[in-house]
Amino acid sequence: DPYSMLKPKEYTGTKEDPHIVPSIGNKRLVGCLCEEDNTAIVWFWLHEGPSQRCPSCGSHYKLVHHELPH
């Protein structure tokens, strides 16, 4: 799926199944809604390495290095 047109896999956000965030760098700004009906977004920096948790709700996110197609 070189153009990211397919629906992404859904993750549970647990330590065993974190939300996967592709990045071409070693960090990326991530926004978490925490609750389905929330109107405020919790923004935080996600860094390469072990999974990190949202500071508000505790959902797990993992940064995965992504190569750009040439």
pLDDT for 1 equals 62
Question: Is the model's pTM score more than 0.95?
Answer: no
- Annotated binding site, which residues? 32, 34, 54, 57
- Annotated binding site for Zn(2+), which residues? 32, 34, 54, 57
Q: Which long-range contacts (CB under 8 A, 24 or more apart) does 19-26 make?
A: 19/59, 19/60, 19/61, 19/62, 20/62, 20/64, 21/46, 21/61, 21/62, 21/63, 21/64, 22/64, 22/65, 22/66, 23/48, 23/63, 23/64, 23/65, 23/66, 24/65, 24/66, 24/67, 24/68, 26/63
Q: Which domains does the chain have, with CATH numbers?
A: 19-65 (2.60.11.10)
| pLDDT tens, position by position, 48-64 | 999 999 999 999 999 99
